[in-house]
Amino acid sequence: MKLSEVKTPCYVIDEVALIHNLEILKKVEDESGAHILLAQKCFSGYDEYPLIAKYISGTTGSGLYEARLGYEKMGVPFGKQTHVYAPAYKSEDVPELARICDHMIFNSSAQLLRHYSAVRGKTSIGVRINPQYRTQKDHPMYDPCAAGSRLGMKREDLTAEVLEKIDGIHFHTMCEQRFDDLARTVRVVERDFGDILRRVKWLNMGGGQHITSEGYDVDGLITLIKYLRETYKIEVYLEPGEAVTIDAGILVSEVLDVVENRLKILVLDASAACHMPDVLEVPYTPTVSENYIQSGDSEEKIIFAGEPAEKRYTYRLAGNTCLAGDVIGDYSFDSEKKAGDRLYFHDMAIYSMVKNNTFNGIPLPSIYSMDKNGECRILKEFGYEDFKSRLGS
């Protein structure tokens, strides 16, 4: 079916945009020798894993379920790597993780020592470090190097007992950031952990780098990775999430009603609280358009909404839940909106499907993929049983 025919609300994965991102990541792999892993915490739509596996080295998970998914859907069928990191592991999960994961990363010396006998000789062992170097200060919630962070070990925590047990070190200190932030962080890691880099087998530089966004210094990244590999004789890993699926998905919604209270409000079948929770948590205001053109075509054909009062008709976009704050944002449009009209929210492949919920019994959006010809195929539909089965037998 075509995009105009999909049932709303729904997420649509734009495979042309996805491939565009993957080609950039493959270039980084091929020219630098690095291994790039999909961070499933951002996107775990495994129907696309056969496509993703053609371009990058595997997946990383944040615990047993994500690790199992990566192992089952990309590791076993395509021979790709499976990595895992968690702030702490439950003891009953560790044996299976050690069996299915190529790398297992620990957050503290206590965790490493507690589980070492169960993982020794079964997986490559690493620890997460905290370089204590902040590259972002606007959102402490997303800053692993902020004061009081529980994430990663400081230099003084890496005792001889820890170092003799590990094969690599990992840091993840960025969120939606550019190459310069990574380069500065690496200089700090070299200064404070350089002696450790010379004795380990690998370095994992985490995610949070917008490698596939416009203006990112891809050549600089390639040069940095080659420098690290040649200087320290180590393998280098990156685990982006957003860089894999940035701008590769939309949330299609329908206007259910128009109400007025000082301003006109469009009540949608898409909800900030249920379907794009980062709008409330971060918060941020997503880009909205009145239509959507297959990725790769001229963006001039897309009719984007403007800032309030920028265009003729201004509306507040809100969800269909009882939460008064279920508001997506205020926008203006060239044409007046009415019930039955469609709106398209952009960059909705990331941190949307993995975080959505059924608050108020609001249905989960269906999931489609759209190929290069603009044809949409259904990947997953949800119904009443999906809501009901979450909280009872």
Q: How high is the pLDDT of residue 296?
A: 57
Instruction: Report the half-sphere exposure of 58 (CA within 13 A, side-chain side).
Output: 25
pLDDT digits (tens, 9 = 90+) for 104-113: 999 999 999 9
**pLDDT > 70? residue 133:** yes
Distance separating alpha carbons of residues 256 and 80, to the nearest angstrom: 44
**CB neighbours of 9 closer than 8 A, spacing ≥ 6?**
251, 252, 253, 254, 268, 269, 270, 275, 363, 365, 366
Contact between 344 and 289 under an 8 Å Cβ cutoff? The reply is: yes
Strand partners, 287: none
CATH topology agreement for domains 3-12+249-348+356-387 and 33-245: no
Q: What are phi and psi of 73, to 5 degrees?
A: -100, -15
Residues of the chain with pLDDT > 90, as a percent, come to 92
Distance separating alpha carbons of residues 122 and 169, to the nearest angstrom: 17
Contact between 256 and 12 under an 8 Å Cβ cutoff? The reply is: no
Q: How high is the pLDDT of residue 109?
A: 97
**pLDDT > 70? residue 38:** yes
> What average pLDDT does the structure give for the chain?
95
- CA-only gyration radius of the chain, Å: 22
pLDDT digits (tens, 9 = 90+) for 188-234: 999 999 999 999 999 999 999 999 999 999 999 999 999 999 999 99
pLDDT digits (tens, 9 = 90+) for 256-293: 999 999 999 999 999 999 999 999 998 889 999 999 98
Q: How high is the pLDDT of residue 176?
A: 85
Question: Nearest 5 degrees, angle CA 366-CA 390-CA 13?
Answer: 20
Q: How high is the pLDDT of residue 137?
A: 72
Query: Mean pLDDT, to the nearest integer, of 247-260?
Result: 97
Distance separating alpha carbons of residues 300 and 298, to the nearest angstrom: 5
Distance separating alpha carbons of residues 246 and 13, to the nearest angstrom: 11
Distance separating alpha carbons of residues 72 and 242, to the nearest angstrom: 22
Q: How high is the pLDDT of residue 284?
A: 86
**pLDDT > 70? residue 295:** no
pTM summary value: 0.95
Listed in sequence order, the DSSP H helices in the chain are 15-32, 49-52, 64-70, 76-78, 94-100, 109-119, 160-163, 179-197, 218-232, 242-245, 272-275, 278-281, 384-388
Q: How high is the pLDDT of residue 140?
A: 75
Q: How high is the pLDDT of residue 299?
A: 58
pLDDT digits (tens, 9 = 90+) for 320-379: 999 999 999 999 999 999 999 999 999 999 999 999 999 999 999 999 999 999 999 999
Q: DSSP letters of 90-156?
A: -GGGHHHHHHH-SEEEESSHHHHHHHHHHHTTTSEEEEEB-----S--S-GGG-TTSTT--SSB-GG
Contact between 368 and 349 under an 8 Å Cβ cutoff? The reply is: no
Axis-axis angle for helices 179-197, 218-232 (nearest 10): 0
The CATH number that domain 3-12+249-348+356-387 falls under is: 2.40.37.10
Q: How high is the pLDDT of residue 294?
A: 72
Neighbours of 59 (CB within 10 A): 28
Distance separating alpha carbons of residues 23 and 1, to the nearest angstrom: 27
Query: Mean pLDDT, to the nearest integer, of 228-242?
Result: 97
Query: Mean pLDDT, to the nearest integer, of 23-47?
Result: 98
- The ranges assigned to domains in the chain are 3-12+249-348+356-387, 33-245
Contact between 40 and 59 under an 8 Å Cβ cutoff? The reply is: yes
Residue 142: pLDDT band with limits 50, 70, 90: confident
Could you tell me which of 57, 12, 13 has the C-alpha nearest to residue 39?
Answer: 57
Distance separating alpha carbons of residues 334 and 336, to the nearest angstrom: 7
**pLDDT > 60? residue 162:** yes
- What is the pairing mode between strands 124-128 and 103-106? parallel
* Amino acid code (one letter) for 243: A
Residue 128: pLDDT band with limits 50, 70, 90: very high
Could you tell me which of 193, 206, 192, 204 has the C-alpha nearest to residue 234?
Answer: 204
DSSP single-letter state for residue 74: I
Q: How high is the pLDDT of residue 298?
A: 54
**pLDDT > 70? residue 152:** yes
Q: How high is the pLDDT of residue 393?
A: 84
Query: Which CATH entry fits the domain spanning 33-245: 3.40.50.20, 1.10.150.120, 3.40.50.1950, 3.20.20.10?
Result: 3.20.20.10
